Amino acid sequence: MSGFKRGLYLFGPVLLLALSGCADESGFDDLDRYMEETRNAPRGVVEPLPEFQAYEAFNYRSSDRRAPFQPPVEVQLTMREEAPRSDVQPDTDRPKELLEQFSLDNLNMVGTLRRSVGEDTLYALVRDAQGGIHRVRKGNHMGQNYGRVVGIDEGRIELVEIVPNGRGSWIERPRSLTLDEGGRL
């Protein structure tokens, strides 16, 4: 006999014995009983979610008072009423120029212009918020704070604005607009 047939004769009865053990359904009685009990058991009740209570912010109304655990501090007034130090005032009688209706934040310098080679006057080209291009020279006014152009060079416009100082008088504030390299005409 060949080795294959001999192995089949020895392995065959072992295989039949193993398969006959699987045919017996009596080993699952306890599992079947447990599954049946679980199916027949009363269903659990899910408790309803607790009612949500809206957060009510605490409004501290004593913030302008001294902290209760700090000793009182003596306060000395340092600001005195002073007479205005400067004679700077905007000229409200002059007619407003077109660029004074725009804030300086809405104005962009987009270039410069010279009429002829020998001329000393350099003009700045300014784009407003609506897309219009305006020619500006030294002495023109622009911006909503009485801004006056005091200088123009190839890369920027120098202005002096007249703004209130908060004490009833006015002060001069220097500002500038730089050339917007990415701006298109």
Q: Read off the CATH number of the domain in which 141 is found.
A: 2.30.30.830
153 lies in a domain? yes
160 lies in a domain? yes
140 lies in a domain? yes
CA distance 87 to 3: 124
pLDDT of residue 3: 67
Rg of the Cα trace of the chain? 46
89 lies in a domain? no
- The answer to whether the CB of 147 falls within 8 A of the CB of 166 is no
How many domains does one find in the chain?
1
pLDDT of residue 31: 87
110 lies in a domain? yes
181 lies in a domain? no
Residue 163 DSSP class:
E
141 lies in a domain? yes
By CB atoms closer than 10 A (0-12, 13-18, 19+), residue 122 is: middle
125 lies in a domain? yes
Enclosing domain of residue 127: 97-176
pLDDT of residue 83: 56
What is the DSSP code string of 14-54? HHHHHHHHHH--GGGHHHHHHHHHHHHSPPP-PPPPPPPPP
Sign (positive or negative) of CA dihedral 169, 87, 172, 143: positive
pLDDT of residue 68: 75
Each residue's pLDDT tens digit in the chain (185 positions)?
566 777 767 777 777 777 666 655 667 888 888 999 988 988 888 888 888 888 888 776 776 777 777 777 676 666 555 554 667 888 888 899 999 999 888 899 999 888 776 677 889 999 998 989 999 999 999 998 999 999 999 889 999 999 888 878 888 889 988 887 765 55
Q: Which residues lie across from 161 on neighbouring strands?
A: 173
